[in-house]
Structure 1
């Protein structure tokens, strides 16, 4: 795949505090064959004003009420025209200005490649230079799925045809739709490659762990995703949650 077009999608709702950081992270990439799509869920703060201030630097902007983040991501995928599709959440940034260049090189090196992923770090909301947690991935092996392993979804760049073949996010999931999606496509035998470097910086305080209620819901949905995709059950869920302990590092 020569000079692949990469579509980056941000689904946002009322996030005027950090949406500019996300936008600047995409627009500051050294790789320029990029389509940037922002899907706003009908924000009532200054999010849309900030987005529109960038003018035609942002390829496509949609602002309308939706059914949550996965609905927004699905809308973005349908609008995407790139060879490769990925997501940058509105709280987050890419780890460097050369991330998309690295992704493009990976796809250029193997025309049969369906996807690429890497490592992710969690940072404090007010200082993305600090690392609170390091999600280090590994080379893909389908047997790892039953052991609760998965790549960090925001680092996963997939050919658009993967979405066309296997579908988007299941809206019956409120928190674990990305996990369900990854189990679906990775267990189907797509070819993916691991890039052993940090690609993505995620601010702490995401939807899945902001309250005890959401933590419980996340576990329930993870179990449903495992069973739905025929990958595992309670044992897989236990290993998945237990393995996260190793992601925390001391400073």
Structure 2
């Protein structure tokens, strides 16, 4: 089973080395690593090229061109990917362990499983071992969608036929395109998803959705648009979605 991992970069020189290292150190051998750069102005591409040269055995595909933002870059990555399974490691993030992809493949090997997801830890920018928030997921039930439930998108690995059927990220969304995509996919009764009770990803704090009050307001509006346009809920869904995050700050 070939796994395509996509990383979108733009002026990511400060973190791309640790991000790439977490992928290149995986024990699972059949990985295609697709890096989509938005014409970075810093040393991102130099770091990427240096690591590509250092790991000649790795299957690393690099594309750098102007884009319309991160979701456009991720869509380009999906279009370029050739793996049986597609997942993302954002440039600020790192895979939790060297066996993470191997465990994901094991989960995808169960009969009729179209995707797997797990837990996510928010960590400080300076120390990826310092956890500030723990997103523990659970086995999926369709009724969860009305309560604003979603798996942590960076932990979600889907077979490519899911993208072939449902397409990529809707660029009408600036912050919540991942939530809209997840609702489209998870409400599809033809799919079965498996929860892996382990930390899949470590995400550095400071993402776009919670970077400012303005972004929080935009995200809330987009979340509401996502649940209503996908016919899975309304205002109460967004309320539950936000309230459910509170206990993540008290888990370790």
- State the distance in 2 between where 1:231 and 1:109 align: 28
> In the TM superposition, what are the counterparts of 1:90-129 in structure 2 within 5 Å?
90-110=91-111, 112-129=112-129
Q: CA deviation digits over 1:52-80, x for unaligned, max 9? A: 11234352100001000000000000011
Question: What residue in structure 1 maps to residue 13 of structure 2?
Answer: 16
Structure 1 window deviating more from structure 2 (60-69 vs 101-110): it is: 101-110
TM-score (norm 1): 0.96
SS at match of 1:96: coil
Q: Which runs of 5+ in 2 are unaligned?
A: none
> In the TM superposition, what are the counterparts of 1:144-183 in structure 2 within 5 Å?
144-183=144-183
- State the distance in 2 between where 1:11 and 1:169 align: 14
> In the TM superposition, what are the counterparts of 1:205-224 in structure 2 within 5 Å?
205-224=206-225
- State the distance in 2 between where 1:105 and 1:149 align: 25
> In the TM superposition, what are the counterparts of 1:33-112 in structure 2 within 5 Å?
33-53=30-50, 54-55=52-53, 56=56, 57-110=58-111, 112=112
Query: Deviation of residue 41 (structure 1)?
Result: 0.6
Residue pair 2:134, 2:251 contacting (<8 A) in 1 also: no
SS at match of 2:197: strand
Q: CA deviation digits over 1:149-204, x for unaligned, max 9? A: 11000000000110001100000101000000000000112210000111110000
SS at match of 1:17: coil
TM-score (norm 2): 0.96
CA-based RMSD:
1.0
SS at match of 2:146: helix
- State the distance in 1 between where 2:215 and 2:138 align: 28
- State the distance in 1 between where 2:221 and 2:108 align: 35
SS at match of 1:44: coil
SS at match of 2:45: helix
- State the distance in 1 between where 2:93 and 2:59 align: 17
Question: What residue in structure 1 maps to residue 22 of structure 2?
Answer: 25
Q: Does 1:233 align with 2:226?
A: no
- State the distance in 1 between where 2:173 and 2:88 align: 18
